[in-house]
Amino acid sequence: MRRSLRGNNAVQAALFLALLLAAPAALPNDYYLSICILACLSAIIAVGLNLLMGYAGQVSLGHAAFYGLGAYTTAICTTRFGLPIPVGMVAGIAVATVVAWIVAVPTLKLKGNYLAMATLGFGIIVSIVFNETVDLTGGPSGYVGIPRLALFGHVFDTDRGYYNVVSVVLALVVLLSLNLMHSRTGRALRALHVSEKAAGSLGIDIAAHKRFVFVLSAALAGLAGVLYAHYLSFVAPASFGFSASVQLLVMVVLGGMASVWGSVAGAFFLTALPEFLREFEDIDILVYGAILVATIMFLPDGLAGGLRRLAAKCRRAKVSHAKAD
Amino acid sequence: MQRPTETAPLLDLSGVTVRFGGVHALTEADFVIPRGSVTALIGPNGAGKTTLLNAITGMVPVSEGRVVLDGCDITHLPPHERAAAGVVRTFQNLEVFTSLTVLENVMTGRHALTRYGIVASLLRTSGFRRAERLCRERALEKLEFVGLADERDTPAGELPYGRQRLLEMARALAAEPKLLLLDEPAAGLNTRETASLGQCIRDIRDRLNVTVGLVEHDMDLVMGISDQVTVLHFGHPLATGTPDEVQADPEVVRAYLGEEE
C-alpha cells in the first residue's frame, strides 16, 4: 500500500524547511530574524519535551536545565579548554544526555505530580550550580566570549547564515521525531502513557522506554543549548531557570500534546507573541496571560487540535458546497 | 470434549504463595493448565482468582513456589519478559490504549515480535518498512478474527464496551502467545455477546491453537467451553476436573452455597 504524500514525514519536513528558509524574505528587519532563530531553538526543545510529555505522558518541569547544561558545557569547552567548536558541541549534548540518564534512573520510578516535583527540584539544583560556581560559569552575571559557530572553515557570523543552520537542524529534528513516533517505539510510548500495566503485559519494557525518551528529549534540549551558546556568544543562568522550564511546558501544552507539529507551532507562537504585544506597553504581560488562558479554553487540544478541527470543518463546508452546486 | 493431555502441562504452578502484608491472597496454590485446553478458574469473590492471574503474569511478587511456563521457570521474570516467554493476558477492568486507533492497539501487541532498532525507524530503512508491513498485516488478521477489522481506524476509546473487550483479545493474540489469560471476559456483556465470546474462545483454542486460561463468573459460559475447571477458595485450590466433575463435587457445592446446617 502506497502512502499518500501528505502522510509522508519526509515530504512534510521538506516543505516545512522550504517554508522556514523562505520566511526571512517576509521579515522587515534583522531583529525579527533573531527572534526566529530563538523560536527555532525553542521548537527543538519543545518537540523533544513533547515526545516525553505528550506521547509518553511523563512530565518534566526541569527541561531548561538540560538546555543550560548544553549551553554552558560548550561555552566552557570552547573558551577555557580551547577545544574546537564541534567538539564543544558534542560535549554539550553528551553532558545533557549523561546527566539525563543519571537523573532518569531514580526519578522515572515516580508518577504524575511526584515526577513533576522531582524534575522541578533537579532544575532548581542545576540553576543554583550555574549561579554559584562563579569560577566556572561566571555566576549570575553570565559567561561571555563564546565563539560564533564555525564549521568546516565557515564562520556563521550573520543572523541569516545562522538562521539557515537552525532551520535545517529543526527540520531534521521534526523529521526524525515524526519517524520515531510512527514506529513501534512511538506506539509503545503512547501505550504506556495510557496503561503501563497493559503495555508491560504485552512485552513492552516500561522502564527502558521511559528512560530512553527522557534521555532523548534531554539530548534535544542540549542540542538547542549548544546552538544557543554559539549564537548569542553569551549565556546567563536566568535563561535556564524554572520560568524557562515552565515556558517550554506551556509551548508543548499550547501547541498540542502528542503532536510534533503542534510543538513547533507552540514554540513559534509563544516566542513571537511578546513582540506583537509591545504596543500594549505596560499591560502587555496581562494581554499575554489573557491570550494563553483564552487559547487553552477554546483550544483544549492545543493549536494542532484547533487546526485539525478547522481543516475538518473546511472539508465539510467544501463537500456541502459541492453538493449545493 | 476431552483433549489429549499426555504431554507436560503448558503452565505449572506449584506451591505458589502471594502475601499482601499479613494477608495470604494465595496459599501454596498448585494450578495446572494443560496444553491445548481451555482451563477455567472459578471461585467466590475474593478467592484469589485475579491474584493467581497476576502471579502468572508477574504483576504481583510471588513469595514462595514456582511458576513454570512450557518448561521455563518464569517465577521471577518482569512482566514484559513473561510476555515474550509466551503468556499474555486481558484485564477485568479494560486497559485498552484509548488514544491509539484500534489497529495501532493490536500492532502494539506485536511489540516484542516486531524487531527493528531505533536507528532503523529513524531512517525508515527497508527492514523497518518490511517489519511494519508484516506487523500491520498480522494485526489486521487478528482484528478480522475477532470481527473488528471494519473499525481499524477508530480511536479505541470510542468503541463500545463489548467491542473494547474483543479488541483486548485481538491485541493479546497479536503477541502470538502460547497461553492467553482472560480475566472475566464476559463481565458487562449481554447474553448474545457472551455467546459469541464463547465461540470466539473455542476458535482461539481450535483454530489458533492457543491455550486459554479463563477467570469467569458466568457459569454457563465456563461450563460450556472449558475442558478443565479449577475451583479456588480462600486462596487455595479446592477441586480440579471436568465441568461435570467439578459441579458434582460436594466440597465445591458447599463453598458456593454455604455450609448446610
ipTM of model: 0.91
pTM of the full structure: 0.92
Q: Tell me the nearest-neighbour CA distance from A240 into chain B, angstroms.
A: 29
- Given an 8 Å threshold on Cβ–Cβ distance, is A201 in contact with B59? yes
CA distances from B199 to B194, B210, B222, B224 (A): 9, 14, 12, 10
Question: And the C-alpha cell for B219?
Answer: 457459569
What is the rounded average pLDDT for all residues in chain B? 92
Look at residue B5 and tell me whether its pLDDT is greater than 80.
no
Higher pLDDT, A183 or A153: A183
List of chain A residues whose C-beta atoms are within 8 Å of the C-beta of residue B128? 183
Query: Cβ of A37 under 8 Å from any chain B Cβ?
Result: no
Q: What is the CA radius of gyration of chain B?
A: 19
User: Is the Cβ–Cβ distance between A146 and A229 less than 8 Å?
Assistant: yes
Least CB–CB distance from B108: residue in A9, A180, A187? A187
Q: Could you report the per-residue pLDDT of B249-259, keeping only the tens digit for each?
A: 988 888 776 65
For range A181-201, the mean pLDDT: 96
Q: Could you report the per-residue pLDDT of A38-78, keeping only the tens digit for each?
A: 999 999 999 999 999 999 999 999 999 999 999 999 999 99
pLDDT of residue B261: 46
Q: Could you report the per-residue pLDDT of B194-233, keeping only the tens digit for each?
A: 999 999 999 999 999 999 999 999 999 999 999 999 999 9
Instruction: Transcribe chain B into DSSP letters.
Output: ------SPPSEEEEEEEEEETTEEEEEEEEEEE-TT-EEEEE-STTSSHHHHHHHHHTSS--SEEEEEETTEE-TT--HHHHHHHTEEE--SS----TTSBHHHHHHHHTTTT----HHHHHHT-HHHHHHHHHHHHHHHHHHHHHT-GGGTTSBGGGS-HHHHHHHHHHHHHHT--SEEEEESTTTT--HHHHHHHHHHHHHHHHTS--EEEEE-S-HHHHHHH-SEEEEEETTEEEEEE-HHHHHH-HHHHHHHH----
List of chain B residues whose C-beta atoms are within 8 Å of the C-beta of residue A183? 116, 121, 128, 132
Q: Can you tell me the distance from the alpha carbon of A2 to that of A282, in angstroms, rounded to the nearest whole number? A: 55
Please report how many Cα atoms fall inside a 13 Å half-sphere around the Cα of residue B11, on the Cβ side.
32
Q: Residue A266 contacts by C-beta under 8 Å, 6 or more apart in sequence? A: A46, A250, A251, A252, A253, A254, A255, A256, A302, A303
- Given an 8 Å threshold on Cβ–Cβ distance, is B97 in contact with A191? yes
In A, minimum Cα distance to B103 occurs at A187
What is the rounded average pLDDT for all residues in chain A? 92
Least CB–CB distance from A184: residue in B81, B100, B114? B114
Burial (0-12, 13-18, 19+ Cβ within 10 Å), A258 = buried
Question: And the C-alpha cell for B261?
Answer: 446446617
What is the percent of chain B with per-residue pLDDT over 90, rounded to a whole number? Answer: 82
Query: Cβ of A319 under 8 Å from any chain B Cβ?
Result: no
Query: Cβ of A176 under 8 Å from any chain B Cβ?
Result: yes
Q: Could you report the per-residue pLDDT of A246-286, keeping only the tens digit for each?
A: 999 999 999 999 999 999 999 999 999 988 888 887 888 88
Predicted confidence band of residue B4 (pLDDT cuts 50, 70, 90): very low
Amino acid at A66: F
Write out the H or E segment, with its range, that includes residue A155: strand A154-155
Q: Tell me the nearest-neighbour CA distance from A132 into chain B, angstroms.
A: 39
pLDDT of residue A313: 87
Report which DSSP code applies to A139. Answer: G
HEC string for B112-173: CCCCCCHHHHHHCCHHHHHHHHHHHHHHHHHHHHHCCHHHCCCEHHHCCHHHHHHHHHHHHH
pLDDT of residue A318: 78
Look at residue B64 and tell me whether its pLDDT is greater than 50.
yes
Burial (0-12, 13-18, 19+ Cβ within 10 Å), A23 = middle
Predicted confidence band of residue A325 (pLDDT cuts 50, 70, 90): low
Interface test with A, best of B80, B100, B102, B130 (most A CBs within 10 A): B80
pLDDT of residue B44: 86
Look at residue B52 and tell me whether its pLDDT is greater than 50.
yes
Pick from A208, A189, A177: nearest CA to A48:
A177
Look at residue B3 and tell me whether its pLDDT is greater than 60.
no
Look at residue B234 and tell me whether its pLDDT is greater than 90.
no
Pick from B108, B49, B101, B50: nearest CA to B80:
B108
List of chain B residues whose C-beta atoms are within 8 Å of the C-beta of residue A191? 97, 100, 105, 108
Q: Can you tell me the distance from the alpha carbon of A106 to that of A211, in angstroms, rounded to the nearest whole number? A: 10
